[in-house]
Structure 1
Amino acid sequence: MGQAQSDEKRAPPSHEELAKELANKFAEKCFTPLELYSFKEVFKNLADQEQTVRYLKEDTIARYLEIPDALGASPVLFQMMSYLGAFPFLRDAPAVLGVEQMVIVITIMTERYQRVLAKGATDRRKLLFKSLAVYDRKLTEITRSEDDQVSNKGDGFAVDAAGDDEGDDDADELVLAALDSMDYINAITYGNAPTINGAIIPTDNWRRLLMLLLLIAPLNPQESLSWYSNRIVGGGLESLRATADCILASFVEAEAAPRIKFTRFNDVIPASLPYIFNGLAPLFEHFLFAKDLDFHKRRDEKPVSSTLPPEVVQPLLQDTGSIMDLNLMSQLSFFIPGESLFRRLRLLYSGDEDGFSMGSFESKVFNWRAPTILLVSGTRLPHGNEYKTKGAEAGFLSTLPSKRFPSGSHGSDQKLTFGVYLKHPWKHTHRECFGDEDTVLFQLQPIHDVFRASKGNKDYASFMKPSPSTPIGGVAFGCPPPQPTQAYRRANVFALGPVSLVLDSSFEFGCFQHHYTSHGGAFQPSIARKFDFDDRFEISSIEVWGCGGDAEAKHQAERWAWEAREAEARRRINLGTGDIEADRALLEMAGLIGGNRSGGSMM
């Protein structure tokens, strides 16, 4: 009886006690013994101390992770860490980053929490948003006023309405799962985080983090970030910022509403940037690897790094192109798995080097048996009745539907970059298009946007050279192939799909259409731009990159060699000798007739 009364009077555990218990559970379940030992060594060497408290400071973390000062991202990253360090009692943020707090931060940043919180959500998007957000009520009211003004314009981006975040469930599933794992689920009543209502991310903070995420996208766990410092030398920093601004444009039109709300953040990332935070895992795993730890050295030997020097590491991008660069490749890795891109891309076709023709395109690309990425860039054609077209431009515009939507972004004569990711090999289109549900149509500049393939309509990709039966020809995505009975075929007009990209047969002009109010297309409409638009442009560059390694390149070379031998065999055949049977036997030996091949008339 006395023991029962004692239990009833026992005070509930404090936030500090519960957070420490969770950190111990994470350390035990999520780290190996060697990783845990290395982490403790790293923390001991880096930590400052005030009285009995040992902790990490912002500049210490920035130096250890080698975050370049030029990015200005260290304060943003430290804000995130200070917030996450208070998990699961986020109302107590910002936290002092002691050893238990750093265990929690690393576990969340590397997504290792999934090993412990099996019942919780694996999606940390909401938690990361809160770690970046500010909760200034005055700023929130200004943002709502700006949202209303932009909405009343009736054009531009679809902006979240003022009350979109109201009613949001404040209890994060990860928080609930963490407390449930310790059998203290009732602690949520006094341990929940600030509500997400009114939370906004300042645009400049998000831009700085985007630049860091682009830089660390190709990072491996034990690679030094300083190896990629050449990407921000000279004009590299401006190029990195320009790429970040294209991604930023999918979240907010910075001049009209320079703050990001959760609804837009939560919509855009899973649709267009599902892998954007992947680089955080290898970055924070640096804390789990002591750089001076070597079990094979004697005590009196100097530490030897086990990582390879940068000069012996394979380059991220072996070939050079006029469109593809390291920043754009990092941008692609935000929605195409990085293992298919970094150190794996080969330039198969470049209009600048190989000529702007479908024949050259076919000879360079068609034998590649692995996924490919087509990139096309150009300058938007002016839009307006006062603009007069002539020559080749007028001819191309005559092949498009007469009805034209507004442009997809502001600015005339603006540079545009579109692309397509295809898993299937390229081939000629006859009655049906090629491609599959993994085909991705996307825009990279001046706004980042991704259009996933639908399942009902399979008009993913087509390649048709001009001929008497297909007079306009070209390369198209999201458009039905021409059929003899269709009226547009007789009028030599492209049948644009609801979401589609068309390049003419001479690779001089292109058109991207986004008919948001239509349905049933091969590609899904934009999440960021919920309105009708089209962009017609003059092509300046076009490239096709192969995603593959030496095996794919060897197969392509063997195919090229076989085709060269076949062409030479055809050239050497000397017909017309008068001996029909001898000529037929020669053709059969060359594999040109026989079986299902008639070879045509010999007379």
Structure 2
Amino acid sequence: MGQSQSQADTRPATAEELSKQLAEKFATRCFTPLEIYSFRDVFRSLADTSDGVSYLKEDTLTRFLQVPDALGVAPVLFQMVSYLAAFPFPAGAPAVLGFEEMIVVVVMLTERYGKVLRGGGRGRNVLLYRSLTVFDRLDGKDGADKGGGDGDKEVVEGEGEELNGNAKAHTGFAVDQPANDEEGDDDDDGLALSALESLDANDVFKHSDAPPISHCSIPIDNFRKIIMLLLLIAPLEASQPFPDYSDRLSGDNLEQLRATADAILSAFINTESDTGIKIHSWNSVIPASLPNLFNGFSALFSHFLFSKSLDLSKRKPSSPTTTPPISPPTSPPSSPALRRPTTPPPLPPLIPTADAEEAEILDLTLLSQLSFFLDPTSLFHRLRLLYSGGSAGFSMRSFETRVFNWRAPSLLLVSGSRLPAIPESSNERAFADSLPPKRLPDSTATNPNRLVFGAYIPQTWQQTYKTCLSDPGTILFQLSPTHTIHRSTISTDQLSFTHPPLSHPGISLGSPHPSSKSASGTANPAKLGPVSLHIDASFEFGVFTHDSRGGGAFEPASGPGGGDWQERFSIESLEVWGCGGEEEAEEQRKRWEWEEREAEARRRINFGKGDREADRALLEMAGIIGGGRSGGSMN
């Protein structure tokens, strides 16, 4: 009797029990008492109940998160959440979105798991990949043929289907079905293993069916919808009310949203030939080119931690079901003003209204795309239009006047259309003659509607004479038609801004500094770096070169955006945006005022009408008079 009781006490915990223990650990370590109280209040207000089980339905979840119907992303988002809810046991997906399951979802998507789990972003990226995948029938059939002859008799997708004539119980997502394939390093189960280690349940992981990943892929259309959603919510903050997206989901704005999503999608796959995104491409592109892609989910799901019914300005009688697990203040505020609920001041616009109306390249969608690889805190509510060729004129002098006094990082953006293979005008022919013969093909077989390139410049702009400006934080990028990011290497040939008489003057990133013209007055073709952007001095033409061998100032891209190609284009718009706030703008204004005073002082020098001795001393210092030279009459 005692022996059987001892055996019962030492039985291993079930997956359901371990999942509940993990949720409890997440709740106590990753949330504050006020947050878990708010979460409980929000969940209770949303949940449906069936057979004593409270859970969230798809339409309830998407309605609370205010996911736009126009995107058609609700089923994809619900699939992702249902998979994450089963963590760390993917065989249990799709999981019912109960209270404990939603705690796990919110912790994973808000990236608070670091207080409990070991492992970094790579494990989370793989987990997010799995949550969006479906079983690839072609790969699955090939794997089944290799593993056994009956592989094609099983249908592994869907619920309620038959297996060998018998009703098949629900076995979770098809992605979680075992297959006879070997997993590579791309399959990182570090987070799941860490979760079980934190519960002292390592053996459960060893004996679990690790889901295959090489036979799975993310459908292109599904991921396009997720990207469009992420572009919308990228600027969202955790405690910020959901904005109105209606103006961005119609007409040209919707087309721009879809085109930007396609540009990002093309960084993973060749949209003309591939059918889905594979794990190797995912693990290559996300860390290098889109490290902040899923940041919007953190703010979106943080709304579960802010209850609208919670008013800290009121004190209610304590009760077991309604009192938050925090201590109330020992005494009320000393004045009525302090007892009023405080509301945060409204945020300034993401882009200043006047600048947004003047801009020709940057809009809210492109701003979100930039935030996927640049620090969002330096972009949202922090940009100022310093220069726009459309309004200030396409000239280097105008560029200098408006940009050189900005003492903070800046963004250079240039857009245009592809030049024809055979020049059609004298200017096009002169530009082609200034470059080496074109040996690389265009980046795409089809002619894109618009080419958009740019650079993030951490240092202050200035004219260069012999050497390039360099900063390890400089980033060269392409935003359309394909999203590619090129970070700086140890080379210092990063940025030059040159005027004549140097050969090939203009703005150049990633190429050696231009040299002086030869004695004959002729110049050799421009030296273009392996990964480089060159804009000519007239701001009329530009060229972006991408050599996959690298070896220059910027790293080449991998995946579909890589390869060997060159785009020569006619410039339609050119902009520079300053990354900074009022302090940086005030510093720029002061420098402008100082330069204006100096210029005015130089204009007021009037020899013969001012101080005669001072004028003579100035001329002597200049070597114009004195030393036996009269220099002419001073009368």
Written as runs of structure 1 = structure 2, the 5 A alignment for 1:226-241 is: 226-241=243-258
1:534 counterpart = 2:566? yes
CA distance in structure 2 between the partners assigned to 1:418 and 1:222 by the alignment: 34
- 1:441 equivalent in structure 2: 476
Structure 1 residues 86, 164: CA separation in 2 closer, same or farther (over 3 Å shift)? Answer: closer
- 2:579 equivalent in structure 1: 547
- 1:315 equivalent in structure 2: 349
- 2:89 equivalent in structure 1: 89
CA distance in structure 1 between the partners assigned to 2:265 and 2:120 by the alignment: 30
- Picking from 493, 510, 516, the partner of 1:478 is 510
CA distance in structure 1 between the partners assigned to 2:342 and 2:59 by the alignment: 25
Amino acid corresponding to residue 514 of structure 2 in structure 1: P
Written as runs of structure 1 = structure 2, the 5 A alignment for 1:249-398 is: 249-297=266-314, 312-318=346-352, 319-320=355-356, 321-383=359-421, 387-398=422-433
1:450 counterpart = 2:523? no
Written as runs of structure 1 = structure 2, the 5 A alignment for 1:179-258 is: 179-258=196-275
Paired-residue identity, % = 52
- 1:524 equivalent in structure 2: 555
Amino acid corresponding to residue 41 of structure 2 in structure 1: E
Give me the TM-score of the superposition, normalised by structure 2.
0.83
- 1:415 equivalent in structure 2: 450
Amino acid corresponding to residue 138 of structure 2 in structure 1: K
CA distance in structure 1 between the partners assigned to 2:342 and 2:521 by the alignment: 64
Give the total of aligned pairs. Answer: 563
Structure 1 residues 448, 165: CA separation in 2 closer, same or farther (over 3 Å shift)? Answer: farther
Contact 1:67–1:225 under 8 Å retained in 2: no
CA distance in structure 1 between the partners assigned to 2:444 and 2:120 by the alignment: 39
Structure 1 residues 377, 11: CA separation in 2 closer, same or farther (over 3 Å shift)? Answer: same
- What is the deviation of 1:164? 11
Amino acid corresponding to residue 561 of structure 1 in structure 2: E
Structure 1 residues 256, 573: CA separation in 2 closer, same or farther (over 3 Å shift)? Answer: same
CA distance in structure 2 between the partners assigned to 1:400 and 1:486 by the alignment: 17
CA distance in structure 2 between the partners assigned to 1:298 and 1:8 by the alignment: 48
CA distance in structure 1 between the partners assigned to 2:224 and 2:448 by the alignment: 25
User: Partner of 2:543: helix, strand, or coil?
Assistant: strand
Written as runs of structure 1 = structure 2, the 5 A alignment for 1:495-534 is: 495-517=527-549, 519-528=550-559, 529-534=561-566
- 1:150 equivalent in structure 2: none
- What is the deviation of 1:292? 1.9
Contact 1:483–1:489 under 8 Å retained in 2: no
Structure 1 residues 171, 207: CA separation in 2 closer, same or farther (over 3 Å shift)? Answer: closer
CA distance in structure 2 between the partners assigned to 1:237 and 1:583 by the alignment: 66
Contact 2:136–2:215 under 8 Å retained in 1: yes
- What is the deviation of 1:471? 3.8
CA distance in structure 2 between the partners assigned to 1:18 and 1:282 by the alignment: 28
CA distance in structure 2 between the partners assigned to 1:135 and 1:489 by the alignment: 65
- What is the deviation of 1:262? 0.8
1:494 counterpart = 2:526? yes
Structure 1 residues 50, 362: CA separation in 2 closer, same or farther (over 3 Å shift)? Answer: same
- 2:127 equivalent in structure 1: 127
CA distance in structure 2 between the partners assigned to 1:91 and 1:331 by the alignment: 34
- 1:136 equivalent in structure 2: 136
Contact 1:164–1:263 under 8 Å retained in 2: no
- Any idea what the Cα deviations from partners look like across 1:419-443, whole Å, max 9, x if unmatched? 0100100001111111301000000
Amino acid corresponding to residue 465 of structure 1 in structure 2: H
Structure 1 residues 188, 601: CA separation in 2 closer, same or farther (over 3 Å shift)? Answer: farther
Amino acid corresponding to residue 520 of structure 1 in structure 2: G
Amino acid corresponding to residue 219 of structure 1 in structure 2: L
Structure 1 residues 128, 363: CA separation in 2 closer, same or farther (over 3 Å shift)? Answer: same
Amino acid corresponding to residue 51 of structure 1 in structure 2: D
CA distance in structure 1 between the partners assigned to 2:59 and 2:521 by the alignment: 65
- Any idea what the Cα deviations from partners look like across 1:490-518, whole Å, max 9, x if unmatched? 5342110010000000000000011213x
- What is the deviation of 1:224? 2.4
CA distance in structure 1 between the partners assigned to 2:237 and 2:512 by the alignment: 42
CA distance in structure 2 between the partners assigned to 1:194 and 1:260 by the alignment: 17
Structure 1 residues 488, 83: CA separation in 2 closer, same or farther (over 3 Å shift)? Answer: farther
Structure 1 residues 120, 562: CA separation in 2 closer, same or farther (over 3 Å shift)? Answer: closer
1:460 counterpart = 2:498? no
CA distance in structure 2 between the partners assigned to 1:600 and 1:248 by the alignment: 66
Which runs of 5 or more residues in structure 2 are unaligned? Answer: 144-179, 318-339, 626-630
Contact 1:382–1:413 under 8 Å retained in 2: no
Amino acid corresponding to residue 101 of structure 1 in structure 2: E
Amino acid corresponding to residue 354 of structure 1 in structure 2: A
- What is the deviation of 1:237? 1.8
Written as runs of structure 1 = structure 2, the 5 A alignment for 1:43-122 is: 43-118=43-118
User: Partner of 1:235: helix, strand, or coil?
Assistant: helix
Amino acid corresponding to residue 524 of structure 1 in structure 2: E
Amino acid corresponding to residue 241 of structure 1 in structure 2: R
- Any idea what the Cα deviations from partners look like across 1:340-383, whole Å, max 9, x if unmatched? 11111000000000000000000000000000000000000123
- 1:157 equivalent in structure 2: none
Contact 1:165–1:262 under 8 Å retained in 2: no
- What is the deviation of 1:402? 1.3
CA distance in structure 1 between the partners assigned to 2:118 and 2:227 by the alignment: 30
Amino acid corresponding to residue 322 of structure 1 in structure 2: E
User: Partner of 2:596: helix, strand, or coil?
Assistant: helix
- What is the deviation of 1:253? 1.9
* Greater C-alpha radius of gyration: 2
Structure 1 residues 121, 237: CA separation in 2 closer, same or farther (over 3 Å shift)? Answer: closer
User: Partner of 2:134: helix, strand, or coil?
Assistant: coil
Superposition RMSD in Å = 2.8
Q: Which moved more, 1:220-229 or 1:417-426?
A: 220-229
Structure 1 residues 47, 486: CA separation in 2 closer, same or farther (over 3 Å shift)? Answer: farther
Contact 2:546–2:562 under 8 Å retained in 1: no
Q: Which moved more, 1:164-173 or 1:124-133?
A: 164-173
Amino acid corresponding to residue 446 of structure 1 in structure 2: P
CA distance in structure 1 between the partners assigned to 2:186 and 2:206 by the alignment: 13
User: Partner of 1:379: helix, strand, or coil?
Assistant: strand
